[in-house]
């Protein structure tokens, strides 16, 4: 298999094996008009297997979404074929419009224009709760 190198773009690396598709969907990468490679189950010395996403365009990506799906991911920014920036992503304190509240009694089900906001309440278990109704994120 041959995946071309990126001249200007983003490489999302060290994704836990099997989480790449979820991240691909939440970031809306299927809507891009550029080359995007999702490579699954790549050999990794640290974890055994990992997923990688390569985006052949310099676009903004949500670090909150990345951190929510898999904290510890590395995001490499590529300019002129060289890594110019390397970021390690952590679990975000708040999530806005990343996930939706499932509680049918939550105000976000009635007020459609209201943002879906979740607060991190337990870092160890990666538990988020809706700021309006306290429902646990699923």
The verdict on pTM exceeding 0.85 is no
- The residues facing 78 across adjacent strands are 9, 83
Pairwise CA distance, residues 79 & 117, whole Å: 34
Q: In the prediction, which pLDDT does 3 show?
A: 66
Beta bridge pairs of residue 82: 79
- Domains of the chain: residue spans and CATH: 9-88 (3.30.70.140), 94-130 (no CATH)
Q: What is the C-alpha to C-alpha distance for residues 18 and 79, in angstroms, rounded to an integer? A: 28
The conformation of residue 136, written as its DSSP 8-state character, comes to B
Rounded Cα distance, 32 and 103, in Å: 31
Looking only at the bridges linking them, the beta strands covering 127-130 and 117-122 are antiparallel
| 47 within 8 A of 15, measured Cβ to Cβ | no
pLDDT for the residue numbered 112: 85
Q: How does pLDDT run along the chain (138 residues), one tens digit per residue?
A: 566 788 899 999 999 999 999 999 999 999 988 889 999 999 888 888 999 999 999 889 999 999 999 998 999 999 998 999 999 999 999 999 999 999 999 999 889 899 999 999 999 999 999 999 999 998
């Amino acid at each position: 298999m041959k995946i071309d190198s990126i001249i200007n773009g983003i490489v999302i690396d060290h994704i836990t094996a099997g989480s790449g598709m979820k991240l691909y969907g939440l970031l809306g990468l299927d809507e891009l008009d550029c080359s995007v490679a999702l490579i699954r189950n790549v050999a990794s010395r640290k974890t055994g297997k990992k997923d990688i996403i390569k985006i052949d365009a310099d676009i903004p990506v949500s670090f909150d979404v990345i951190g929510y799906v898999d904290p510890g991911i590395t995001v490499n920014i590529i300019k002129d074929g060289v890594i110019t920036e390397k970021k390690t992503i952590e679990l975000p304190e708040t999530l806005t419009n990343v996930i939706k509240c499932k509680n049918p009694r939550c105000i976000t089900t009635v007020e459609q224009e209201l943002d879906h906001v979740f607060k991190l309440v337990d870092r160890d278990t990666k538990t988020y709760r809706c700021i309006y109704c306290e429902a646990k994120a699923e």
